[in-house]
């Protein structure tokens, strides 16, 4: 099997799995005051310090969550609720966000009458900061939060987060970024970015599923989604998953330390994959920014094919990939990201995402290139019947 869907989830790193198993054998609730509880608390705080150190944050800015989706919801809803007033009720987002952000924003608009402004993107999937500057000139006093992903989960395009935060800073508007695809794959420095909040997820970078974190500046307040024991600065109540947190820290630390060399390795594999797909399927359309993109992301549209049919044909040949965001898999709709980039609906439905990760080798690329031409031929034939 050639697994090319690492943007959906990637296997746990050996050191993260070791940390999880070692910690899971120990007893202790990190909120308890006895010896076992203090040992568990020490594990959590050491993990917090390690994550903060490699991501350019302060330990007190790391809030552990149960997923990247929870981190995104906590930032978007929590910051909006904290800052909204009668005159300030506008959320600024983009047209290409992951559903963890897009659906949270839509819920606030539908159920709480938040005003929502979507920033458009160009044909490469990149936000135009000039549009944001114009919006701030007219509506800064109305805006509670700006949210824009660091790296797009479908086409891999990187966004100008630092520039956006710099535009928002004079107005005192916090910027949240969904960096779930970015952390561990491109350089991420929370303080240097100027962002007020940043979401990450364990299973995208070699940690366990069911773990995540929100980096939230100490001067930024957020209304909690969960109420209970008052853990995590009283912003995220709930018994802490000590083994998961230990494994998450191990994964983040490894991914950050090896980011540059691993990005170079994956970029070479990706470029080889892209060149060979273009040769094997000349009418394939390469989507996203060819330069400012994630090193392990290759996203193509295959005109005349249905993406889900092509995916299943490749799956039958032992190659696993995705039609787009894993969270919306199985829904026969064109990608909202490609539509926002100006793609025709048929092209948006014909897309596949190939994403590489730490276990990926040239053999995986070879398997894809070997299976793809016949799969495309059969998919096109099926589309004609």
The per-residue pLDDT for 48 is 98
Give tens-digit pLDDT for 221-270.
Answer: 999 999 999 999 999 999 999 999 999 999 999 999 999 999 999 999 99
pTM here? Answer: 0.96
Point out the residues of the chain with pLDDT beneath 50.
none
Q: What is the pLDDT of residue 382?
A: 82
Given a contact cutoff of 8 angstroms between Cβ atoms, the answer to whether 54 and 253 are in contact is: yes
Classify burial at 276, counting beta carbons within 10 Å of its beta carbon; exposed 0-12, middle 13-18, buried 19 or more. middle
Residues in Cβ contact with 107 at an 8 Å cutoff, skipping those fewer than 6 apart: 77
**Cα gap 293→165, rounded to integer Å:** 20
What is the pLDDT at residue 333? 78
State residue 384's pLDDT score: 58
Residue ranges of domains in the chain:
2-9+259-384, 14-257
- Closest by CA to 104, choosing from 81, 79, 77, 66, is 77
User: Using an 8 Å Cβ cutoff, are 379 and 350 in contact?
Assistant: no
Q: Output the pLDDT for position 326.
A: 52
14-257, which class in CATH?
A: alpha beta
Q: Which CATH number fits domain 2-9+259-384: 3.40.190.10, 3.90.1150.10, 3.40.50.970, 3.40.470.10?
A: 3.90.1150.10
Known catalytic residue at 148: no
């Amino acid at each position: 099997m050639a697994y090319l869907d690492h943007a959906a989830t990637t296997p746990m790193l050996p050191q993260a799995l070791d940390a999880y198993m070692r910690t899971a054998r120990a007893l202790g609730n990190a909120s308890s005051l006895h010896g076992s509880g203090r040992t568990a608390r020490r594990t959590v705080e050491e993990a917090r310090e390690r994550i903060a150190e490699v991501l350019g944050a302060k330990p007190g800015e790391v809030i552990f969550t149960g997923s990247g989706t929870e981190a995104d919801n906590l930032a978007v809803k929590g910051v909006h609720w904290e800052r909204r007033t009668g005159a300030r009720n506008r959320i600024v987002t983009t047209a290409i966000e992951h559903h963890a952000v897009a659906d949270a924003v839509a819920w606030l608009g539908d159920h709480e009458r938040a005003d929502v402004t979507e920033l458009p993107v160009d044909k490469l999937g990149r936000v135009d900061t000039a549009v944001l500057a114009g919006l701030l000139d007219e509506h800064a006093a109305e805006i509670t939060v700006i949210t824009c992903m660091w790296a797009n989960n479908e086409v891999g395009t990187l966004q100008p987060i630092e520039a956006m935060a710099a535009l928002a800073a004079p107005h005192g508007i916090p910027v949240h970024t969904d960096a779930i695809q970015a952390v561990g794959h491109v350089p991420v420095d929370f303080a240097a970015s100027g962002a007020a909040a940043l979401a990450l997820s364990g299973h995208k970078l070699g940690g366990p599923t069911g773990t995540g974190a929100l980096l939230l500046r100490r001067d930024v307040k957020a209304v909690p989604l969960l109420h209970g024991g008052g853990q995590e600065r009283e912003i995220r109540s709930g018994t802490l998953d000590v083994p998961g947190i230990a494994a998450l820290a191990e994964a983040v630390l490894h991914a950050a330390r090896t980011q540059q060399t691993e990005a170079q390795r994956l970029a070479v594999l990706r470029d080889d994959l892209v060149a060979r797909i273009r040769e094997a399927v000349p009418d394939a359309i390469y989507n996203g920014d060819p330069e400012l993109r994630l090193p392990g992301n290759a996203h193509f549209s295959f005109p005349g094919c249905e993406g889900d049919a092509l995916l299943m044909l490749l799956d039958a040949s032992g190659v696993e990939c995705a039609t787009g965001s894993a969270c919306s898999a199985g829904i026969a709709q064109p990608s909202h990201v490609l539509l926002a980039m100006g793609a025709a609906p048929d092209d948006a439905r014909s897309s596949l995402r190939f994403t590489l990760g730490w276990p990926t080798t040239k053999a995986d690329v070879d398997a894809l290139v070997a299976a793809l031409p016949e799969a495309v031929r059969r998919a096109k034939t099926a589309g004609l019947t």
